[in-house]
Amino acid sequence: MTKRYYAACTLGLEEVLADELHDLGAQDIQVRRGACEFAGDQALGYRACLWLRSAIRVQEELARGEARDRDELYQLTQTVDWSRFITALQTIAIDGSVRDSWANDTRFPVLVTKDAICDQFRAIDGKRPSVERDRPDLPIKLVLMHDHAILYRELGGAPLHKRGYRAIQHKSPLNEATAAGLLLLSDWDRRSSIVDPCCGSGTFLIEAAWIATDRAPGLGRSFAFEHWRDVDVDAWREIYDDAEQRAEAGRERMPRLAGNDRHPGALAIAEKAIKNAELTEHVQLTHGDARNFEPPFDPDMLVANPPYGDRLDDDPERLASSWRAIGDFLRRSAASRAWVLCGNPEVTRWLRLRSDRKLPVRNGPIECRWLRYELGAGAGR
Ligand SMILES: C[S@@+](CC[C@H](N)C(=O)[O-])C[C@H]1O[C@@H](n2cnc3c(N)ncnc32)[C@H](O)[C@@H]1O
């Protein structure tokens, strides 16, 4: 049976997500702001959770219709047979989003939806699922726009960027899905070597290794749909086994990867994450200032996400010094090009390089540019 899905991503990565969906065989892909809608069977939903690198969430549409008031929203919610998905002993959580609607905020419509679901269960044998905010068995999304509502169930549970390799957070880590999406948005051929001179917790390097070796980003983590009554266990096992085999075969295609950072704490986190991602032998890390960094091999491409002054405690002089150091490194590198993520146009001048591509991307709340710099003889200004 064909289902309709909604996958969310970082703003600016919509086309990357659409390409990923196309490769997975999704039908009727519609690009939206920060998302794609698409269609496919139930197995496609599982593959989307396991394989999408740039997506943060995948939701399956359950009902859509007019909801001009409380009663219509209640009725719409009741058109779904919720007992097909979970038992009354399991848990739910409803996340609401309301725009230009009769409800001022999400609280009342969320309550109505919850009541409609619980009443439906109670009518069977008096029992109802309880609400569990943190790790519900069935995460539900309610979208109320004008007089229209859509109900989804969220397939992943925990956001898909939580791959499982990062136990501790560095100060400004790059979201894993954003890092993977940026690599896919760049002109990297998914094979050649990459160096990150200020790698922080190593997200670019880990995501690059997994892309190059065809390792599904969701291998090793769990998904909400695995706890549902209607899960197609055989289809899921086949998809998962195939991903394990691809990851095994892909290890031969590991590119050379190296990172550096001046912050020992960040490097300790990177080391741990790299170990968790089973990449210890494949990613070389060095401690020091980018200005003096000598990568262990001549890289093909550089990537960097230097600090750009988004925290109040960022000292402008220290910031300028970071960008100068990274600029020095880029200009003397043997790489043919660099991609740099920046959320502050003021600081890029310290690189003393002119970018030839500027792609708008949102990093958390910050409007950023994913900047490409041609390197080698003649680069710089
Ligand atoms: C925004 S964080 C990078 C986050 C990283 N992409 C991640 O996934 O965790 C910026 C990093 O640049 C490093 N850094 C800043 N200036 C540096 C310099 N001159 N040399 C080396 N590292 C530097 C900081 O220590 C910090 O870890």
**DSSP one-letter string for 286-341:** EES-GGG---SS--SEEEE----S-STT--HHHHHHHHHHHHHHHHH---SEEEEE
Reduced to 3 states (helix: H, G, I; strand: E, B; else coil), residue 228 is coil
- 199 Cα–ligand 1 center, Å: 6
Class of the CATH-defined domain 3-154: alpha beta
Contact 260, 198 (CB under 8 A): yes
CA of 101 from ligand 1 middle (Å) equals: 43
Report how far ligand 1's centroid is from the alpha carbon of 19 (Å). 30
Contact 38, 26 (CB under 8 A): yes
SS3 342: strand
313-338 core/surface letters (b: 16 or more CB in 10 A; e: else): eeeeeebeebbbbbbbbbbebebebb
**Per the structure block, which two tokens stand in for 32?**
């939206």
- Which of 263, 272, 342 to probe ligand 1 with, by most ligand atoms within 8 A of CB? 263
**β-strand pairing of 337-342 with 283-287:** unpaired
Q: Nearest to residue 33, comparing CAs of 12, 6, 56, 49? A: 12
CA angle 372, 268, 328 (to 5 degrees): 35
- List ligand 1's pocket residues with C-beta within 6 A: 170, 172-174, 198, 200-201, 203-204, 261-263, 266, 289-290, 305-307, 322, 325
55-66 sheet: strands from edge to edge: 27-32, 35-40, 3-9, 55-66, 148-154, 138-145, 91-99, 130-131
Mutate to test the pocket of ligand 1, among 194, 262, 308, 366 (most ligand atoms within 8 A of CB): 262
User: What's the CATH number for 176-213+254-374?
Assistant: 3.40.50.150
Distance 340 CA to ligand 1 centre (A): 12
Look up residue 379 and give its two tokens: 């680069």
* 324: its two tokens: 């100068």
**Cα of 234 to ligand 1 centre, how many Å?**
44
Q: Enter the tokens of residue 26.
A: 């999704």
Ligand 1 centroid to residue 290 C-alpha, Å: 9
Domain boundaries, the chain: 3-154, 176-213+254-374
pLDDT in tens, the chain (381 residues): 999 999 999 999 999 999 999 999 999 999 999 999 999 999 999 999 999 999 999 999 999 999 999 999 999 999 999 999 999 999 999 999 999 999 889 999 999 999 999 999 999 999 999 999 999 999 999 999 999 999 999 999 999 999 999 987 666 678 999 999 999 999 999 999 999 999 999 999 999 999 999 999 999 999 999 999 999 999 999 999 999 999 999 999 999 999 999 999 999 999 999 999 999 999 999 999 999 999 999 999 999 999 988 665 568 888 999 999 999 999 999 999 999 999 999 999 999 999 999 999 999 899 999 999 999 865 665
Contact (Cβ atoms closer than 8 angstroms) between residue 95 and residue 139: yes
Considering only CA atoms, give the Rg of the chain: 23
Q: Which of 176, 198, 329 to mutate to test the pocket of ligand 1 (most atoms within 8 A of CB)?
A: 198
Whole-number Å distance between alpha carbons of 222 and 202:
23
